[in-house]
Chains A and B, each alone.
Chain A
Amino acid sequence: MSTKTTIPDFRVTPSIDQVGIEERVARFTSRSIKKESKMQGMKMVLSMIDLTTLEGKDTEGKVKQMCYKAAHLHDVIPGLPTVAAVCVYPSMVKTAKDALKGTGVKVASVSTAFPSGQSTHEIKISDTKFAVDNGADEIDMVISRGEFLKGNYKFVFDEIASIKQACGKARLKVIFETGELSTLDNIRKVSDIAMYAGADFIKTSTGKISPAATMPVTLVMLEAIRDYYYATGRMVGMKPAGGISTSKLALQYLIMVNETLGADWLSNEWFRFGASSLANDVLMQIAKQNTGVYQSSDYFSKD
């Protein structure tokens, strides 16, 4: 980050008009994506997925199976990309790292007492360091929503900055849990806080509460990324997570990225989908595009 960047006053971030945001989103969803552009888009979607399992019942066995799927989405169709990363709890990072050796698929770990973030600073730092030491390439932290809603923006800023420091070379994704933040104005504000505090990615949700990612929320975050980019020259990535389970919806998200941030963000270095079931729907659509017919979901592996 450039040393010249001045940190703005977060009490006066730009205002957002919800009706206007929803109208803009409606324009994206009415785009018609056909033929080659659809195929190209679907392959992009696959390559941007963070294949995720974040459950209390996760085991090494389950994580290994998912890792194989991550690198071998559907070997029947040649030329498919791998997903971008797998996303697991810190305790599963080592297992995932070993399973993915040589595949190019990254390992992302949630941290900071995911999903609630209700723990002490020390525990959040050690949670993060543990994941990084075990080989995590990316850290998905959660912010302290309670402190944010209290108006304690300095706390939120400092916490993100210190986790960023603990990440070392790992890229930091900052989860806002937008479903708990209530207004689009808040989402804009927290996006600015996270980016100025050093986030490499900003991410909507943990997937644990509803609503998770929505297009209006994602648009507000993309516009914040755009303004931050113009202000600082630094690119920040975007990851909507939770609730995106169909190919059609994922393509509409990509349209939104393309028309808000442009071509530079259309790669898994700068855009990700946090999803568990999206990949198979995209694979089914790709098979349909190739063969002209839909296949049963039993033709696509569920790991």
Chain B
Amino acid sequence: MSKKEVKLKFNAAWDLAPAPEDSKHVSIKKQYDLFINGEFVKPNSKKYFATYNPATDEKISEIADADEKDVDKAVKAARAAFGKWSKLSGKERGKYIYRIARLMQERAREFAVIETMDGGKPIRESRDIDVPLAANHFFYYAGWADKLEYAFPNKNPKALGVAGQIIPWNFPLLMAAWKIAPALAAGNTVVLKPAETTPLTALKLAELIRDSGLPKGVVNIITGAGKTGAAIVNHPDINKIAFTGSTNVGKWIQKSIAGTDKKCTLELGGKAANIIFEDAPLDQAVEGIINGIFFNQGHVCCAGSRLFVQESVADIVIRKLKDRMETLKVGDPMDKNTDIGAINSKQQLLKIQEYIAIGKNEGGEIYQPSCSLPKKGNFCKPTIFLNVSQSHRIVQEEIFGPVLAIQTFRTIEEVIEKANNIPYGLSAGVWTDKGSKIFNLTSKLKAGVVWANTYNKFDPTSPFGGYKESGFGREGGLHGLGAYLQF
């Protein structure tokens, strides 16, 4: 027995047969126009761009490219609808929002499949997380629509007006729900732009909103790239900008709206510390590391991309982490057994690969599991870097991919200092069996969300947002509602 190597063998004896989710039931049009004033209209530019399936590189559909005139048209429609919508009783507004939530549940399967086709995330996630959570946001905020006076007593809450909302490609439908639901509950009207690589579920949401009978112009969904977004930000008749995306764009938005009275919430990048103490439930902590960094291929602003492990348990945690990584199934996002799907775009894949090269050049010790990757499409192996420090670029910069930088620490003071020693402050994770240690850390970590003995948990009732370069303002919960009201 002593001669035998002590090593576990994964994926050797029993391979699971492919179990692809059926995509025949979904209807995707060859071409999508802009959803303005309750109907789909051709773009003024007459231009369309293609959206691709990142797992196969196949073109899925063509999407209208909105220019400044289209944005103006959408804002005018939203403004025209605002008067009536904001004066409608909260109870009536709530009814519409509930209807959207229920329709989303009814069409959940179609939304999940399209989300996975367009964005590359595993069907398990879009089915079990993105779509149900999106519907929950509508349900939750529908409930607040007729209770604004109770939510903010004696403050006489009033809608802001027209909200311009720009959302990223990592959670296309969920981010649309985070933005639209509280805006409508508070009585605002909306012009929303999804990301150019993942516009399809937002456009399906437009169809759903049309079918729900929501008054025309209350929600307008227009598509395009950065220029379209800029036109929304700079439009003079918009009262509020809500943006989720990169820190660079966030900074540009703040500059652009300086001197105007536009309200603004920004949810930007992150480089979260996931901290494992020696007294933590280690196997569950390892699961938390996996969920923290490999959930949605690491395309998560609150991803736990910096791991801090107490030195006394570092070897055992890293061994467990490597074993767990061997069991991850990377491949066809439509397969129900896939754990890690496709990287959202070629451009993002190149960026991640560049960071992996930087990590190697900086002398980080790289580890990737033995899994094979599909030949076609944008795929990246789950990756960890050992023996890195705060001074390494892969520790400082947001990679937005399945790449984890691991450092060890000795004392609580040391880990708090290192965790906070970053321009970002969106989220953090703490793993320990000791309650007092959790409370000590949650009060000292400069992060909008601190998870204790879990990671990447989202709930409509819980506010979410960041410190420092991770942005400002909160979404979710009462805080998220207040961000769409004036008092």
- A interface vs B, CB < 8 Å? 2, 14-17, 19-21, 23-24, 30-38, 40-41, 44, 223, 226, 229-230, 233-234, 254, 258-259, 261-264, 266
Q: Which residues of A contact B2 (CB under 8 A)?
A: 2, 233
From A23, A24, A31, A233, give the contact of B6 (CB < 8 A): A233
**Residues A36 and B454 in contact in the complex (CB < 8 Å), given A259-B327, A262-B10:** no
B128 at the A/B interface (Cβ < 8 Å)? yes
21 A–B contacts, CB within 8 A, in A order? A14-B281, A16-B283, A17-B453, A20-B285, A20-B287, A20-B454, A30-B128, A33-B16, A37-B14, A41-B14, A44-B14, A226-B8, A229-B6, A230-B6, A233-B2, A258-B14, A261-B8, A262-B8, A263-B11, A264-B8, A266-B14
Which residue of B has the minimal Cβ distance to A4?
B2
Which residue of B has the minimal Cβ distance to A226?
B8
Which of A16, A17, A35 has the most chain B CB within a 10 Å cutoff?
Answer: A17
Q: Which residues of B contact A23 (CB under 8 A)?
A: 287
Q: Mark B443-462, 1 if CB is under 8 A from A, else 0.
A: 00000000001100000000
Q: Which residues of A contact B323 (CB under 8 A)?
A: 226
B284 at the A/B interface (Cβ < 8 Å)? yes
B4 at the A/B interface (Cβ < 8 Å)? yes
Q: Which residues of B contact A15 (CB under 8 A)?
A: 279-281, 433
**Residues A258 and B1 in contact in the complex (CB < 8 Å), given A15-B280, A19-B454, A264-B8:** no
Q: Mark B1-40, 1 if CB is under 8 A from A, else 0.
A: 1101010111111111111000000000000000000000
Which residue of A has the minimal Cβ distance to B431?
A17
Q: Which residues of B contact A262 (CB under 8 A)?
A: 8-10, 12
Min CB distance A172 to B, Å, is 17
B188 at the A/B interface (Cβ < 8 Å)? no
Are A37 and B16 closer than 8 Å at their CB atoms? Answer: yes
Min CB distance B99 to A, Å, is 30
Are A234 and B1 closer than 8 Å at their CB atoms? Answer: yes
Min CB distance A93 to B, Å, is 29
**Residues A263 and B284 in contact in the complex (CB < 8 Å), given A2-B1, A37-B17, A233-B4:** no
Are A35 and B17 closer than 8 Å at their CB atoms? Answer: yes
The count of chain B contact residues (Cβ–Cβ below 8 Å) is 35
Are A263 and B6 closer than 8 Å at their CB atoms? Answer: no
Q: Which residues of A contact B284 (CB under 8 A)?
A: 16-17, 19-21, 24
Q: Which residues of A contact B17 (CB under 8 A)?
A: 33-38
Q: Which residues of B contact A33 (CB under 8 A)?
A: 16-17, 19
Q: Could you tell me the distance between the alpha carbons of A258 and B10 in the complex, rounded to whole angstroms?
A: 7
B319 at the A/B interface (Cβ < 8 Å)? yes
Q: Could you tell me the distance between the alpha carbons of A258 and B284 in the complex, rounded to whole angstroms?
A: 18
Q: Which residues of A contact B8 (CB under 8 A)?
A: 226, 229, 261-262, 264
Which of A20, A33, A37, A226 has the most chain B CB within a 10 Å cutoff?
Answer: A20
| Contacts A20-B287, A32-B16, A33-B17 known; 8 new A-B pairs at CB < 8 A | A15-B279, A15-B433, A33-B19, A230-B6, A233-B6, A263-B11, A263-B12, A266-B14
Interface of A is mostly: helix
B137 at the A/B interface (Cβ < 8 Å)? no
B288 at the A/B interface (Cβ < 8 Å)? yes
Q: Could you tell me the distance between the alpha carbons of A38 and B15 in the complex, rounded to whole angstroms?
A: 10
Which residue of B has the minimal Cβ distance to A21?
B284
The 6 closest A-B pairs by CB, nearest first: A20-B284, A263-B13, A32-B19, A17-B281, A262-B8, A263-B12
Which residue of B has the minimal Cβ distance to A266?
B13
B337 at the A/B interface (Cβ < 8 Å)? yes
Q: Which residues of B contact A30 (CB under 8 A)?
A: 124, 128, 336
B282 at the A/B interface (Cβ < 8 Å)? yes
Which residue of A has the minimal Cβ distance to B432?
A15
Are A20 and B288 closer than 8 Å at their CB atoms? Answer: yes
- B interface vs A, CB < 8 Å? 1-2, 4, 6, 8-19, 124, 128, 279-285, 287-288, 319, 323, 327, 336-337, 433, 453-454
Q: Could you tell me the distance between the alpha carbons of A21 and B285 in the complex, rounded to whole angstroms?
A: 10
Q: Which residues of A contact B283 (CB under 8 A)?
A: 14, 16, 20, 24, 223
Q: Could you tell me the distance between the alpha carbons of A229 and B287 in the complex, rounded to whole angstroms?
A: 20
Min CB distance A294 to B, Å, is 21
Q: Which residues of B contact A229 (CB under 8 A)?
A: 6, 8
Which of B11, B128, B288, B337 has the most chain A CB within a 10 Å cutoff?
Answer: B337
Q: Which residues of A contact B124 (CB under 8 A)?
A: 30
Q: Which residues of B contact A31 (CB under 8 A)?
A: 16, 336-337
Q: Which residues of B contact A263 (CB under 8 A)?
A: 9-14
Q: Which residues of A contact B13 (CB under 8 A)?
A: 258, 263, 266
Q: Could you tell me the distance between the alpha carbons of A163 and B16 in the complex, rounded to whole angstroms?
A: 40
Are B4 and A20 closer than 8 Å at their CB atoms? Answer: no
Q: Could you tell me the distance between the alpha carbons of A21 and B337 in the complex, rounded to whole angstroms?
A: 19
Q: Could you tell me the distance between the alpha carbons of A17 and B288 in the complex, rounded to whole angstroms?
A: 11
Min CB distance A16 to B, Å, is 5
Q: Could you tell me the distance between the alpha carbons of A264 and B8 in the complex, rounded to whole angstroms?
A: 7
From A14, A24, A34, A223, give the contact of B19 (CB < 8 A): A34
Q: Could you tell me the distance between the alpha carbons of A26 and B337 in the complex, rounded to whole angstroms?
A: 13
Min CB distance B295 to A, Å, is 12
Q: Which residues of B contact A234 (CB under 8 A)?
A: 1
Q: Which residues of B contact A226 (CB under 8 A)?
A: 8, 323
Q: Could you tell me the distance between the alpha carbons of A2 and B4 in the complex, rounded to whole angstroms?
A: 13
Q: Which residues of A contact B16 (CB under 8 A)?
A: 31-34, 37
Q: Could you tell me the distance between the alpha carbons of A102 and B179 in the complex, rounded to whole angstroms?
A: 70
Q: Which residues of A contact B281 (CB under 8 A)?
A: 14-17, 20
Min CB distance A49 to B, Å, is 17
Which residue of B has the minimal Cβ distance to A1?
B1
Are A259 and B433 closer than 8 Å at their CB atoms? Answer: no
Q: Could you tell me the distance between the alpha carbons of A33 and B281 in the complex, rounded to whole angstroms?
A: 30
Are A259 and B10 closer than 8 Å at their CB atoms? Answer: yes
Q: Could you tell me the distance between the alpha carbons of A260 and B288 in the complex, rounded to whole angstroms?
A: 16
From A2, A19, A233, give the contact of B453 (CB < 8 A): A19
Are A37 and B15 closer than 8 Å at their CB atoms? Answer: yes
Min CB distance B452 to A, Å, is 10
Q: Could you tell me the distance between the alpha carbons of A139 and B9 in the complex, rounded to whole angstroms?
A: 29
Which residue of B has the minimal Cβ distance to A257?
B14
Q: Which residues of A contact B4 (CB under 8 A)?
A: 233
Q: Which residues of B contact A17 (CB under 8 A)?
A: 281, 284, 453
Q: Could you tell me the distance between the alpha carbons of A125 and B19 in the complex, rounded to whole angstroms?
A: 51
Q: Could you tell me the distance between the alpha carbons of A185 and B271 in the complex, rounded to whole angstroms?
A: 33
Q: Which residues of A contact B453 (CB under 8 A)?
A: 17, 19-20
Q: Could you tell me the distance between the alpha carbons of A33 and B17 in the complex, rounded to whole angstroms?
A: 7
Q: Which residues of A contact B287 (CB under 8 A)?
A: 20, 23-24
Which residue of A has the minimal Cβ distance to B319?
A230
Which residue of A has the minimal Cβ distance to B128?
A30
Min CB distance A222 to B, Å, is 10
Which residue of A has the minimal Cβ distance to B12?
A263
Q: Could you tell me the distance between the alpha carbons of A38 and B16 in the complex, rounded to whole angstroms?
A: 8
**Residues A32 and B1 in contact in the complex (CB < 8 Å), given A17-B453, A20-B453, A262-B9:** no
Min CB distance B433 to A, Å, is 4
Min CB distance B403 to A, Å, is 22
Q: Could you tell me the distance between the alpha carbons of A41 and B6 in the complex, rounded to whole angstroms?
A: 25
Q: Which residues of B contact A44 (CB under 8 A)?
A: 14
